[in-house]
Amino acid sequence: AQRVTQPEKLLSVFKGAPVELKCNYSYSGSPELFWYVQYSRQRLQLLLRHISRESIKGFTADLNKGETSFHLKKPFAQEEDSAMYYCALLTGTASKLTFGTGTRLQVTL
């Protein structure tokens, strides 16, 4: 069965420091992975997807099939990056998403 693991519940970094939010997955099919973000008192929204290979708000994520990972990175954290981040795996033909447990990123001065 598919599974998404985010090992850190909380990641606290200083402003300007690099950020890496970890995500590992297990899935027998061809994986399609996403990062979603939820800012305080706001709804969940898509941050980026691996097939787009894009950088959004300075964040990037590379799919590593060998390590079954899709870590989210940003070289210099900003205060406005503080939020809850969820890694998600698209499974099957029904466009269903399996979410990880989320990591709260806290950027402090």
Partner 1 sequence: GAVVSQHPSWVICKSGTSVKIECRSLDFQATTMFWYRQFPKQSLMLMATSNEGSKATYEQGVEKDKFLINHASLTLSTLTVTSAHPEDSSFYICSALGNEQFFGPGTRLTVL
**Rounded least distance, CB 75 to partner 1, Å:** 26
Taking the least distance from each CB to partner 1, the nearer of 22 and 99 is: 99
**Rounded least distance, CB 74 to partner 1, Å:** 21
**Rounded least distance, CB 92 to partner 1, Å:** 10
Which strand (E) or helix (H) includes residue 48?
strand 45-49
Interface residue with partner 1, options 19, 63, 71, 100 (CB under 8 A): 100
Q: What is the per-residue DSSP string for 62-108?
A: --BTTTTB--EEESS--GGG-EEEEEEEEETTTTEEEE---EEEEEE
Q: 40, 63 in Cβ contact below 8 A?
A: no
Residues that bind partner 1 (CB under 8 A): 42-46, 49, 86, 94-102
